[in-house]
Structure 1
Amino acid sequence: MPSTTTLPTAESLQGKPVPSVTFKARLEDQWRDLRSDELFKGKTVVVFSLPGAFTPTCSSTHLPRYNELAPVMRQNGVDDILCISVNDAFVMNQWAAGQGASNITVVPDGNGDFTEGMGMLVDKRDLGFGRRSWRYSMLVNDGVIDKIFIEPDKEGDPFEVSDADTMLRHINPNAKIPEPVVMFSRPGCPHCARAKAALRENGIVFTDISEDQKITTSVLRGISGELTWPQVFVGGKRIGGADETVAWVAERER
């Protein structure tokens, strides 16, 4: 629970500008100052904020689902999806890389300036976290908060309303959510590389489960009934290898 901090209400924040701060980011191994105007001015932006990189709910659900639905949000008028956390730039960059979150812009609010300006800086010293962000998400148009979803003020780390599906339903209740795509691949496999390229070039988010994650040929055969790499599944249904995946992508794009 946010100890002595009283969380703001959605009504008190909607219609107000986001805090004007400077974020200390690391881009291409160089320090870079990112101002709020650069991130928000003239854009429609989805923001989700969470307690910390590498933490369980943030890593297993919050970030991955936004990364998965980011292309759909962009198809519905969103210019960028930002993940803001009170972590330094090195931690945020490493987390995003490990998550394969290429559709998300991670923003390090290391000093908590933006989070404090939002009224969302809470005391988590009982967990050894110091001061961190309460979990929330918002839709920002040209620097002004259009809609915000704030997790309820109760014990623990509630995750009920700031999820990607709730945000997408707000943006467009009729948006078509794609089936999850999973690929079983092998490092150095040219057919795997071809299938990945076909998916990426068409903006299809997929989960890559590779041989170096202990997915052996025997495991692959047990799952798919096949011995060749890659094997691609969509919504639990096997599509097949590289040729079948390229054909599936082409048919989907018609």
Structure 2
Amino acid sequence: MATPVHRALLAVDLEGSGKRDNHAVVESRRVLFGELRQAFEASGIPWSLCATETAGDEMVVIVPPEFPKRNLIHPLLGHLADGLRHHNRQAAASVLLRVRVAVHAGDLLVDDYGTTGRPQTHLARLLGSTPLRAALAAAPPTATVALLVSDHFYEDVVGQGHRGIDPDLFTPVEVREKETETRAWLHVPGHTATHSAQSRNSADKSSPTDRVGGVRISGSDVKIGGDLFGGDKYNYPPPS
């Protein structure tokens, strides 16, 4: 019988990989996963103790329970964003890197093939969601990371007032992907306006509406330059 274990989960996905040739994809993976490893190590989470699952330019990192979940937000995101920004200053256009990041936590099941369970499925829906893709696409070129955390992770970690984590910098958005309909919290490090506690509390009463990194978000709809992504128009950004 599969054994349940509680784990924090972080997933990354490279923006624009579908536009890269094979050589650029290999180089992008090498740099991205290397920077991710360094960000974990610099945040006090030994890479060798984490489990990883890789598919193309995506990676899911499964974090042992003895390490504080808050470290996945601070200082890890800052280390990752800085590392990618440093790379981009020297890189050719074909290997400029910006990433979408999703964070969640929950009980996974361990079987003969590794880990599985609804938390991993939920994480995948967050990572591939329209609000997260749109936020990074609309953010300035200097923004190298866009983050979406689950409502559960926000309540348990982000909203608890840990040093280095400002809950006011996270904006509630509605995620509707396949069978998933949920609220999540969006943040573009270094490019997110401060939101009041009143605006966060209002998300409990109505669909969230706000502006993050140049993206206007209303419920599941995201407006960029007047174009509507999601909602009834189903004008989704090109897949990447």
Say yes or no: TM over 0.5. no
Which protein shows a greater Rg? 1
Q: TM-score, normalised by structure 2?
A: 0.30
Greater strand share, structure number: 2
Q: TM-score, normalised by structure 1?
A: 0.29
